[in-house]
Amino acid sequence: MSEIVRGVIAKAKGAPVSIEDIVIPDPGPGEVKVKIAACGVCHTDLHYREGAINDQFPYLLGHEAAGFVDLVGEGVTEVQAGDYVILNWRAVCGDCRACRRGRPWYCFNTHNADAKMTLVDGTQLSPALGIGAFADKTLVAAGQCTKVDRRAPAQVAGLLGCGVMAGLGAAINTGNVSHGDTVAVIGCGGVGDAAIAGARLAGASTIIAVDIDDHKLELAREFGATHTINSNNRDAVKGIQEFTNGFGADVVIDAVGRPETYEAAFYGRDLAGTVVLVGVPDPTMRLDLPLIDVFGRGGSLKSSWYGDCLPSRDFPMLIDLYLQGRLPLDRFVSEEIELDNVEAAFEKMHRGEVLRSVVVL
């Protein structure tokens, strides 16, 4: 039997979101209905609402969530009703060329539920990142559910579903930060601060935070930054060099994603160092670098999608670290809000006032 619940819908480009009744069909084969407990507000939800991802309105927003399995479809063996899960947007296929080579975190054929959630008039909804979790319940593929320790509160656990995982993974997985490395992180929002926390976990000896907002730099220190640079007042590259004996950092993470921040990351790293781009540029942006510098400085230039995470490997491990007090996931939660405050949360995010607003259901 299908079920009617509330969901936060973006109906048209740029229009404020609204709460609507939505119809959740029963899970089909390989699908799972999940009762949402909490869902963080991510920049990507705002990108959807602004029509910057694609034009498949109406969207059911929300994708950074944790909750409880409500009902499973035929053939689902990974989870059962009552399980506590974090939702992910990387349900790996096991069969594409990346998966077959043992690199499932690059899976090129990830999947979502086939059955469609709709408005009550039958209009099909596009769930954000194949999730759609600003809702009492949602429908996903079984592989999008990762079981974790239920002692971690949902408003904290859900954060691993997107931005925080992207930042942690940019440092740990993509940047491969290890003991004694020097690291710089440009842009200290939720993603950048998670990269800082990841660099600390991995044993970096120096962690330099770069932002244009002093309040963000203070928060970055709480996540583990050892030095800070306000790049409005001071050249980021010179600052990074100064804090690394004149050399530059081993790993520089760009968590903004603009040509000028990427260029600072490129020149702020040591010879043979690594640049990780985790901030998402807009499609009009271009980069102009002397090719001789790309060659001459060596090292590697990488991008990080979802922190190159493998949810089944990384989520339970990171929740365990949180429960042991080694990863301060709760510090990312700036405020807990109701479902009807998502629009206001977008505005706060836009003004840079929050790391994460989290809808608690």
Ligand X SMILES: NC(=O)c1ccc[n+]([C@@H]2O[C@H](COP(=O)([O-])OP(=O)(O)OC[C@H]3O[C@@H](n4cnc5c(N)ncnc54)[C@H](O)[C@@H]3O)[C@@H](O)[C@H]2O)c1
Instruction: State yes or no: residue 231 binds ligand X (CB under 6 A).
Output: yes
Q: Minimum Å distance from CB 59 to Zn ion?
A: 13
Closer to Zn ion by Cβ: residue 93 or 337: 93
Closer residue to Zn ion, CB minimum distance, 95 or 347 = 95
Least separation in angstroms between CB 42 and Zn ion: 3
**What is the x/- site pattern for Zn ion, positions 127-166, by CB under 5 A?**
-----------------------------------x----
Residue 339 in contact with residue 134, Cβ under 8 Å?
yes
Are 206 and 198 spatial neighbours (Cβ–Cβ below 8 Å)? no
List the one residue from 216, 239, 240, 249 that touches ligand X (CB under 6 A). Answer: 216
- Cα dihedral value 99, 103, 108, 111, nearest 10: 70
For Zn ion, the binding residue among 44, 174, 182, 357 (CB under 5 A) is 44
Q: Which two tokens stand for residue 189?
A: 């929002």
For 349, residues 6+ apart whose C-beta sits below 8 A from its C-beta are 41, 43, 46, 357
Residue in 211, 250, 270, 314 binding ligand X, rule: CB under 6 A: 211
Any contact of residue 187 with ligand X (CB under 6 A)?
yes
Tokens 């942006």 -> residue = 285
Residue in 282, 274, 314 with CA at minimum distance from that of residue 86: 314
Residues 13-72 binding ligand X (CB under 6 A) are 43-44
| Tokens 């059911």, located at residue | 60
Q: Closest Cα partner for 315 from 164, 109, 204? A: 164
The site map against ligand X for 82-121 (x = CB under 6 A) is ----------------------------------------
Among candidates 239, 245, 177, which has minimal Cα distance to 209? 239
Q: Which does 211 bind (CB under 5 to 8 A by kind): ligand X, Zn ion, none?
A: ligand X
Q: In the chain, at which residue ranges do the beta strands (DSSP E only) sit?
A: 3-10, 18-24, 31-40, 59-60, 64-72, 84-87, 118-119, 126-127, 137-141, 145-147, 182-186, 206-211, 227-230, 249-254, 269-277, 300-303, 333-337, 356-360
| Residue nearer to ligand X on the CB measure, 25 or 328 | 328
Whose Cβ is closer to ligand X: residue 79's or residue 110's? 110
Site for ligand X, residues 322 to 361, rule: CB under 6 A? 352
Binding ligand X (rule: CB under 6 A), the pick from 146, 173, 206, 304 is 304
Select from 107-115, 217-225, 319-327, 333-341 the region that touches Zn ion (CB under 5 A). Answer: 107-115
Q: Which does 187 bind (CB under 5 to 8 A by kind): Zn ion, ligand X, none?
A: ligand X
In 3D, which of 323, 360, 354 has the Cα closest to residue 340?
360
Contacting residue, 159, 166, 207, 265, with ligand X by CB under 6 A: 166
Tokens of 128: 């954000």
| Cβ partners under 8 Å of residue 175, min gap 6 | 183, 195, 199, 251, 253, 274, 276, 302, 304
Select from ligand X, Zn ion, none the partner in contact with residue 202, using the beta carbon and a kind-dependent cut-off of 5 to 8 Å.
none
Question: Which residues contribute to the site for ligand X (CB under 6 A)?
Answer: 43-44, 162-163, 166, 186-192, 210-213, 216, 231, 255-258, 260-261, 278-280, 304-306, 352
Question: Which residues contribute to the site for Zn ion (CB under 5 A)?
Answer: 42, 44, 93, 96, 99, 107, 109, 162
